[in-house]
Amino acid sequence: MSDVMIEVKGLRIIAGNASEGTTEIVKGVDFTVKKGEVLALIGESGSGKTTIALSLLGYTRHGCTFAGGSVRVGETDVLSLDDAGRRALRARTVAYVAQSAAAGFNPARTLMDQVIEPALLHRLMTREAARATAVELFRALALPAPDSIGDRYPHQVSGGQLQRVMAAMALITGPAVVVFDEPTTALDVTTQIEVLVAFKKAIRELGTTAVYVSHDLAVVAQIADRIVVLNGGTVRENGTTGQVLDMPADDYTRQLLAATRRSEPEPAIADTDSLPPLLEVRNLNAGYGRIGANGVPAVCVLDNVNLRIARGSALGVIGESGSGKTTLARVVAGLVDRARGEVLLDGKPLPAKLSARTPDQYRRVQIVFQNADTALNPSHTIADILARPMNFYHGLRGAAAQKRMFELLDLVKLPASIARRQPGGLSGGQKQRVNLARALAADPALILCDEVTSALDTVVGAAILDLLVELRRELGVSYMFISHDISTVRALCDDVMVLYAGQCVEAGQRDVLAAPPHHPYTGLLVDSVPALRPGWLDSRRALTGTALPSMGPASDSTELCSFRARCPVRVDGKCNVTPPSVRKLPSGAVILCHHSATELELVEKTNPVTA
């Protein structure tokens, strides 16, 4: 019996039709995957990764057609199946884990009902047996409260938990093959590690064959046995993970590796000590719900946050999902009200509400949102999108507006011909460049960049970072750069602020991320960035498997360390009783912690991963 589970030969997929013309988007792709093996499909956006992976389910996107070749899964010729055969194949023989779990679940049904549905549709087991199997999968995927988490609704669990629930839904039928389509792309670094560990454990224990679609080589290095590198719908390289990472044979693979290992530019701060900061935030509290008698909202998202951004400089704000990063940007932009504190622009108070700001204040602070798909009006051309801020802020119309529009497109490295197109006809990277051009149309002093590269592949994200560096150098614009990706912050920013649960736990120059000692939470973030080498994930988990120090009940103080529930160096009788002190580290960074720099350095030398 053959040990090959997947065999793809000469696969061709075209987009379009005979009347309007066709484009070949997958061009004669070949690869095989053995039973129990994990194959990674790597490449930029538009390389054909997901299109090829979906062919294993006998599926093509709207407007696309199989034009040649074969796809075999086990003994099944997938492309020869009729509709009934494909329905029998999907979720039973080949299962799929999507990139966006939030979009893949029905918000009106419990998680358990949706997880067991494939097993019931394929009549593999009774409802009771399916529920018991689901609970075991929840446990295998390291989900909290596995016996009861299925009773929750999708909005009642975190993004990382929802991705693991989706994996349980894929695995409940015992499929021969599982397709993972960028399942950790939108997750922060610590959540990504948890999800990767859970996926890897489940794949090993169940003996599942997997195809893992990703643009992140460091992530792929932790989970894949083999890598297929794709570009423009063709295979550029096919080899073992170690060979592709250490001895790449193709120039394009080397380009991907170079984008992943990009060097950090030197900080480029002008001498602004004698000038007031461009932006200053003092003692900021913000959140949602009723404001109490103490001036604090019922749900406090930001707690006593302070920061300064000099003219022409860039501040990186990092932290996990839910740390308050985006809320901070929205408060500065006037999109979220603040409960307490001040925001100063050029030393002058900036009104909390957008409606109270002057047109000039509005113009000088612009925001670039994370998701360009939802930030750009799909029915407008790029020319229309850029014309609006030029007219609103500067009164430009006609020839003057057109001239400025072409200048803006040139600034963000887009061709003039793109002006006639709509957002739907652009790539993800092109849309984000239009987003930047729209912000630049206002001629701002400060741009708030909210996770602007998190949804982009490695090469395109690196190009956007290079563009931001160049714009800063040419225009003198300042950035508040929000990200959960430490490598992007290192590539762009001069200063760094680390948020956890709305509190600034560490702040200093970019170099604070380079070497310990760190605040324990900063150490967790730094050590959660996957290394570009196989085995890193397993070695990291071996280091982090120890239990946290025991700790008694907390005092009534509202100012206790917010990280104490996860801190590997917490001290009973101190961390749960008294608020942490502000301390200065040798790097110049300021942290909020009970431990001294000497104590933290000793701990981090003893245990190199503070997680």
Same domain, 212 and 255: yes
Same domain, 241 and 336: no
> Rounded CA gap, 563 and 436, in Å?
35
Question: What is the average pLDDT value for the chain, to the nearest integer?
Answer: 89
pLDDT tens-digit series, residues 84-114: 999 999 999 999 998 878 778 999 999 999 9
User: Is residue 290 classed exposed, middle or buried when 0-12, 13-18 and 19+ CB atoms within 10 A define those classes?
Assistant: exposed
pLDDT of 184 above 90? no
What is the average per-residue pLDDT within 367-371? 87
Last residue of a domain, which of 229, 260, 291?
A: 260
Assign 392 a pLDDT band (cuts: 50, 70, 90).
very high
Which pairs with CB-CB distance under 8 Å and at least 24 residues apart come from 152-155? 152/110, 152/111, 153/107, 153/108, 153/109, 153/110, 153/111, 154/101, 154/102, 154/105, 154/106, 154/107, 154/111, 155/107
pLDDT of 271 above 90? no
Last residue of a domain, which of 513, 534, 560?
A: 513
Mapped onto helix, strand or coil, the DSSP state of residue 482 is strand
Same domain, 414 and 437: yes
> Rounded CA gap, 413 and 567, in Å?
45
Same domain, 171 and 196: yes
pLDDT of 273 above 90? no
Q: Which residues pair with 411 in a beta bridge?
A: none
pLDDT tens-digit series, residues 454-482: 777 778 888 889 899 999 999 999 999 99
Mapped onto helix, strand or coil, the DSSP state of residue 146 is coil
Same domain, 529 and 509: no
C-beta neighbour count of 79 within 10 angstroms: 15
Nearest to 24 by CA among 292, 233, 258: 233
pLDDT on residue 270: 47
Which parts of 431-580 are beta strand (E)? 446-450, 478-483, 495-500, 503-509
pLDDT of 384 above 80? yes
Residue 419 falls inside a structural domain: yes
- Across 5-9, 460-464, 528-532, the highest mean pLDDT is recorded for 5-9
pLDDT on residue 543: 57
Q: For the domain that residue 372 is a member of, what is the CATH number?
A: 3.40.50.300
Assign 544 a pLDDT band (cuts: 50, 70, 90).
low
Sequence-ordered list of residues with C-beta below 8 angstroms from that of 545, at least 6 positions apart, any chain: none
What is the average per-residue pLDDT within 183-200? 83
Sign of CA pseudo-dihedral 450, 456, 458, 464: negative
pLDDT on residue 611: 39
Which tokens is 386 given? 């850029």
pLDDT on residue 305: 96
Sign of CA pseudo-dihedral 302, 307, 312, 313: negative
Residue 124 falls inside a structural domain: yes
What is the average per-residue pLDDT within 472-499? 91
Instruction: Please give the distance of CA 234 from its chain centroid, rounded to a whole number.
Output: 26
Same domain, 473 and 418: yes
pLDDT on residue 610: 42
Omega before residue 517 within 30° of 0, cis: yes
Assign 10 a pLDDT band (cuts: 50, 70, 90).
very high
Assign 178 a pLDDT band (cuts: 50, 70, 90).
very high
Residue type, 541: R
Pick 73 or 191 by higher pLDDT.
Answer: 73
Same domain, 573 and 488: no
Task: Return the half-sphere exposure (C-beta side, CA atoms, 13 A cut-off) of residue 464.
Answer: 29
Which tokens is 178 given? 């599982």
Assign 149 a pLDDT band (cuts: 50, 70, 90).
very high
Same domain, 429 and 574: no
Exposed e or buried b per residue across 198-215, where buried means at least 16 C-beta atoms within 10 angstroms of its C-beta: bbbebbeeeebbbbbbbb
Whole-angstrom CA distances from 57 to 47, 238, 307, 319 are 19, 22, 50, 37
pLDDT of 313 above 70? yes
Of the chain, the percentage scoring pLDDT greater than 70 comes to: 95
> Rounded CA gap, 53 and 214, in Å?
11
Mapped onto helix, strand or coil, the DSSP state of residue 60 is coil
> Rounded CA gap, 111 and 131, in Å?
11
Helix axes 159-171, 127-140, angle to 10 degrees: 130
| 443 DSSP 8-state letter | -
Whether the CB-CB separation of 27 and 234 falls below 8 Å is answered with yes
Residue 186 falls inside a structural domain: yes
Pick 31 or 514 by higher pLDDT.
Answer: 31
Same domain, 244 and 285: no
Last residue of a domain, which of 477, 495, 513?
A: 513
Assign 42 a pLDDT band (cuts: 50, 70, 90).
very high
> Rounded CA gap, 496 and 510, in Å?
6
Which tokens is 172 given? 């409940």
Which tokens is 600 given? 């933290």
Same domain, 283 and 350: yes
> Rounded CA gap, 597 and 518, in Å?
8
Domain count, the chain: 3
Residue 393 falls inside a structural domain: yes
pLDDT tens-digit series, residues 221-265: 999 999 999 999 999 999 999 999 999 999 999 988 988 876 655
Same domain, 451 and 548: no
Least confident of 24-28, 190-194, 214-218, 476-480: 190-194
Residue 468 falls inside a structural domain: yes
What is the average per-residue pLDDT within 418-446? 91
Mapped onto helix, strand or coil, the DSSP state of residue 94 is strand
Residue 536 falls inside a structural domain: yes
> Rounded CA gap, 505 and 512, in Å?
13
Residue 588 falls inside a structural domain: no
Same domain, 186 and 314: no
pLDDT tens-digit series, residues 46-70: 789 999 999 999 999 888 999 999 9
pLDDT on residue 262: 63
pLDDT on residue 469: 92
pLDDT tens-digit series, residues 564-608: 999 989 999 999 999 999 999 988 899 999 999 888 888 776 665
Residue 587 falls inside a structural domain: no
Which domain does 205 fall in, by range? 37-59+84-260
Pick 459 or 281 by higher pLDDT.
Answer: 281
